[in-house]
Amino acid sequence: MKVKKIVDLSIPLTNYTPIYPGDPKPSIRVATTIANEGYNLHYVHIGSQTGSHVDAPYHFDDYGQKIDECNLRLFFGTGVVIPVNGKNEQEEIRLQDVEDYLDLLAEGTIVLFHTGWSRFAGEEKYFRHPYVHVEVIEEMINRGVRTFCIDTINLDFTGGTKFPAHSAIAAVGGIIAENLANFESIDFPNPVISLFPLKIAGADGAPVRAVALDLGL
């Protein structure tokens, strides 16, 4: 297998990485050094949803699978990038915005909503991102999709108390990847998407080093 290109879809994980309002603030610092202890080591304190991450069904369903229980096939597959980067702040992504791509979707497809919003990471505007209307999710679920990615901090509206897209995906045992970036660099057909999370027992989600691979398919 020859990999022609690898696109890093993850944002840097630092003390300043944007977090969903109310989530634990990241704290990453030096724990030991070669000079003092003979080896370098960092202390890393983050929430399960910090940085580029995936949500397990348990995130919005007490009876849903936890991240270590999810079928690993959900985290790897051929992606379809859907450009919706003309959306404004807090504007919905509706069915008419994605209809040209629906026939490309099937069981095992990984959907990537490209809003372009990752360029605002570190700004207040980052939290006023476009979001996906549940009608879009329901249509894609009906076509067999179970893995949804977006380059914003939240697939749903940030600042509200309801999360209809999350709930719909959790109900069918699907997963969501958020806080991704660099979708514009996926300039090749049939990208293979890898979203494998840390195996944190009993958790609602986990950080991920997400990548898109050009395998020349």
pLDDT of residue 30: 98
| Residue 19 within any structural domain of the chain | no
pLDDT of residue 169: 98
pTM for the full predicted model: 0.96
C-alpha span between 174 and 65 (Å, rounded) = 9
| Residue 188 within any structural domain of the chain | yes
| Residue 43 within any structural domain of the chain | no
| Residue 53 within any structural domain of the chain | yes
> Domain of 185: which CATH number?
3.50.30.50
C-alpha span between 124 and 80 (Å, rounded) = 29
| Residue 105 within any structural domain of the chain | yes
Query: Which band of pLDDT confidence, cut at 50, 70 and 90, is reported for residue 211?
Result: very high
Give the HSE-up count for residue 189: Cα atoms under 13 Å, Cβ half-sphere. Answer: 3
| Residue 38 within any structural domain of the chain | no
Q: Is the pLDDT of residue 68 over 90?
A: yes
Phi-psi region of 38 (alpha: psi -120 to 50; beta: other; left: phi over 0): left
Q: What is the dihedral of CA 174, 180, 184, 188, to 10 degrees?
A: -50
Q: 154 is in which domain, residue-wise? A: 5-12+48-214
What's the helix, strand, coil split of the chain in %, to 5?
Answer: 25, 25, 50
C-alpha span between 185 and 147 (Å, rounded) = 20
| Residue 18 within any structural domain of the chain | no
Number of structural domains, the chain?
Answer: 1
The mean pLDDT value of the chain amounts to: 97
pLDDT of residue 203: 98
